[in-house]
């Protein structure tokens, strides 16, 4: 039922008894309350109002201990709860953290063009599992997998819902009730508190730990081999780094061990760099193509990290292994949906057409020059009405999402001249519409320009105009 907004009652009208509390339908029709229906559903809004009214009734039982209740205070309390509820829901934010693939903010951003393409496809029916040539049922994702093979030079490819799922499927298929050898220095903990050893145990594989925290050699793998060994596993230390007296076996060294004993080598690369590392200032960082060229039998990586697309687990490598993965009943539980495949297809075309620098938002952000960032930062500050409290300072952004932990991206950030604690400033920006998410560094709140797009500019300027007057 459509609610027609009514003009507000006297905001100072006192609420002295439960009888003075307005009728629910009348309150819902208030101009200010009716606007809230653009943020949440009528059912949720109704429940919020009922809770606000119940609290008011309880307060009226002992008015001496409660602040005066007015019509205006009921409006204010309701809108406050609406704001709290809407911020708990999935909503757009402006990322000013300087972390491009921010795990808590959805990882790799997706381009407007890819969104429009996917929306066009998803709006109707599509050939998800249909072969146009034969008119019979087809296999899901074959075109995307073919493009993935072309890009990486792989024999075969398979796509699942995320990289943890890819590793789980590999272990369950190849090493169930058998041994998998892994360096102690690579037993990483991934997002949400999950640990690689725990994932391995759940898959049915038996973990064989080798080496030490800081040094593991190829000989350690050789000495751990037994008749029960099913595979060698290497996990990229993409979400942390070690310095000092350290060492690890290279892919080429492990290929020698694996091939001599006819055992597959699986490389969980995680972040999934598919371009030349030197082109993106990541010289020395492992890439998917490099790992395959060095001889890894299987490489698995995430779709929403350095690949810059939707969440997925991408598996590339030897055909005989991937054929086994397809036959595992678990694959059906882990396979991606049509939306994921559509996004991956778009991203793959950008790499294959060599337009990824402009088309993939992650790289478009990461490859901006300091000069471009400072110019953009000054434009934002100059658009703010009261900008005397704003400073543009040097900053360092990051790739994020547990990838390239040591790589910094030169950037700049807006800081504030205020005595208000940084955490309080951060809260004020989170309360804006859309919420602005920055970072706190050395007790200073910063809005890093690296992760701000041209499309964010107007909303960010509006938020600055709203917050700055509140900063002493």
pLDDT digits (tens, 9 = 90+) for 424-458: 999 999 989 889 999 999 999 999 999 999 999 99
Residue 385 lies in a domain: yes
Query: Domain containing 197 — which CATH number?
Result: 3.40.640.10
Q: Kindly give the pairing relationship between strand 444-448 and strand 409-416.
A: antiparallel
Report DSSP state, residue 354.
T
Q: Looking at per-residue confidence, does 12 or 417 come out higher?
A: 417
Kindly report each contact of residues 132-139 with a partner whose C-beta sits within 8 Å and lies 24 or more positions away, as own/partner.
none
Q: Name the band, by pLDDT with cuts 50, 70 and 90, for residue 187.
A: confident
Instruction: State the helix-helix crossing angle for 319-327 and 163-175, rounded to 10 degrees.
Output: 90
Which pTM value belongs to this model?
0.85
What pLDDT does residue 1 have? 44
Same-domain status, 300 and 159? yes
Burial class (CB in 10 A: 0-12, 13-18, 19+), 260: exposed
Q: State pLDDT tens for residues 393-422.
A: 999 999 988 788 888 999 999 999 998 999
Do residues 200 and 307 share a domain?
yes
Residues 167 and 306 in one domain: yes
Considering the domain architecture, whether residues 432 and 329 belong to the same structural domain is answered as: no
**What is the domain extent for residue 410?**
94-107+364-470
Structural domain includes residue 7 = no
Give me the number of domains the chain comprises: 3
Let me know whether 314 and 336 are in one domain: yes
Give tens-digit pLDDT for 280-305. Answer: 999 989 999 999 999 999 999 999 99
Do 461 and 378 share a structural domain? yes
Query: CB atoms < 10 A from the CB of 329, how many?
Result: 7
433: preceding bond cis by omega (within 30 degrees): no
Of 343, 359, 375, the residue that ends a domain is: 359
Please state, in angstroms and as integers, the Cα–Cα distance from residue 383 to each residue in 258, 390, 461, 464, 472, following that order: 60, 12, 7, 10, 21
Q: Which of 13-22, 241-250, 310-319, 400-409 has the highest mean pLDDT?
A: 310-319
The answer as to whether 214 is a domain residue is yes
**Residue 101: inside a domain:** yes
Query: CA 242, CA 240: separation in Å to the nearest integer?
Result: 7
**SS3 category, 472:** coil
In a domain, 6, yes or no: no
CB 418 within 8 A of CB 472: yes
Residue pLDDT, tens place only, 122-132: 889 999 999 89
What local confidence, expressed as pLDDT, does residue 86 receive? 75
Are 162 and 260 within one domain?
A: yes
Q: Provide the terminal-to-terminal Cα distance of the chain, rounded to the nearest Å.
A: 46
Same domain, 274 and 322: yes
Same domain? For 349 and 264 the reply is: yes
- The answer on 405 and 295 residing in a single domain is no
Residue 178, in any domain of the structure: yes
Domain end position, chosen among 337, 359, 381: 359
On the question of pLDDT at 57 being above 80, the answer is yes
Q: How confident is the model at residue 83 (pLDDT cuts 50, 70, 90)?
A: confident
For residue 2, is it within any domain?
no
Q: Are 372 and 378 in contact (CB under 8 A)?
A: no
- The verdict on 99 and 234 lying in the same domain is no
Domain boundary among 359, 386, 415: 359
Residue 139's contacts (CB-CB under 8 Å, 6 or more residues apart) are 129
Q: If you average pLDDT over residues 154-175, what whole number do you get?
A: 96
> Is 8 part of a structural domain of the chain?
no
To which H or E segment does residue 410 belong?
Answer: strand 409-416
63 and 209 in a single domain? The answer is no
**Residue 6 predicted with pLDDT over 60:** no
Residues composing the chain:
472
**What is the model's pLDDT at position 239?**
66
Read off the CATH number of the domain in which 415 is found. 3.90.1150.180
């Amino acid at each position: 039922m459509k609610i027609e907004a009514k003009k507000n009652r006297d905001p100072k009208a006192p609420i002295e008894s439960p009888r003075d509390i307005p009728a629910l339908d009348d309150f819902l029709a208030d101009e200010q309350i009716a606007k809230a229906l653009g943020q949440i559903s009528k059912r949720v809004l109704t429940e919020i109002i009922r809770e606000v009214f119940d609290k008011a009734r309880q307060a009226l039982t002992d008015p001496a201990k409660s602040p005066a209740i007015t019509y205006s205070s009921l409006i204010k309390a309701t809108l406050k709860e609406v704001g709290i509820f809407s911020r708990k829901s999935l909503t757009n934010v402006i990322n000013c953290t300087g972390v491009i693939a921010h795990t808590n903010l959805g990882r790799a951003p997706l381009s407007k063009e890819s969104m429009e393409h996917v929306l066009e496809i998803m709006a109707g029916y599509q050939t998800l599992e249909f072969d146009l040539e034969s008119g019979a049922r087809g296999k899901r994702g074959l075109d995307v997998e073919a493009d993935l093979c072309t890009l990486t030079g792989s024999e075969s490819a398979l796509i699942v819902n995320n990289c943890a799922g890819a590793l789980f499927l590999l272990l369950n298929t190849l090493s169930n009730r058998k041994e998998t050898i892994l360096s102690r220095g690579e037993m990483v903990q991934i997002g949400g508190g999950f640990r690689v050893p725990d994932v391995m145990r759940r898959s049915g594989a038996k973990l064989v730990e080798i080496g030490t925290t800081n040094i593991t050699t190829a000989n350690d793998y050789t000495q751990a081999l037994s008749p029960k060994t099913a595979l060698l596993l290497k996990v990229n230390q993409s979400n942390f780094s070690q310095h000092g007296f350290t060492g690890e076996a290279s892919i080429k060294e492990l290929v020698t061990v694996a091939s001599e004993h006819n055992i597959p080598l699986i490389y969980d690369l995680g972040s999934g760099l598919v371009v030349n590392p030197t082109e993106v200032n990541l010289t020395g960082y492992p890439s998917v193509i490099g790992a395959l060229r060095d001889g890894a039998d299987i490489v698995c990586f995430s779709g929403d990290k350095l690949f810059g697309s939707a969440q997925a687990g991408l598996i590339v490598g030897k055909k005989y292994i991937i054929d086994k993965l397809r036959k595992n009943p678990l694959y059906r539980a882990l396979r991606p949906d049509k939306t994921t495949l559509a996004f991956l297809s778009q991203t793959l075309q950008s790499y294959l057409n060599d337009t990824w620098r402009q088309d993939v938002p992650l790289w478009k952000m990461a490859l901006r020059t300091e000069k471009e960032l400072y110019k953009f930062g000054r434009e934002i500050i100059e658009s703010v009405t009261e900008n005397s409290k704003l400073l543009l300072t040097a900053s360092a952004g990051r790739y994020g999402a547990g990838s390239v932990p040591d790589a910094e991206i030169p950037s700049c950030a807006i800081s504030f001249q205020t005595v208000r604690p940084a955490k309080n400033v951060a809260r004020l920006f989170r309360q804006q519409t859309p919420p602005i998410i920055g970072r706190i560094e050395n007790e200073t709140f910063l809005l890093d320009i690296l992760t701000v797009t041209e499309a964010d500019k107007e909303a960010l300027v509006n938020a600055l105009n709203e917050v700055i007057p509140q900063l002493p």
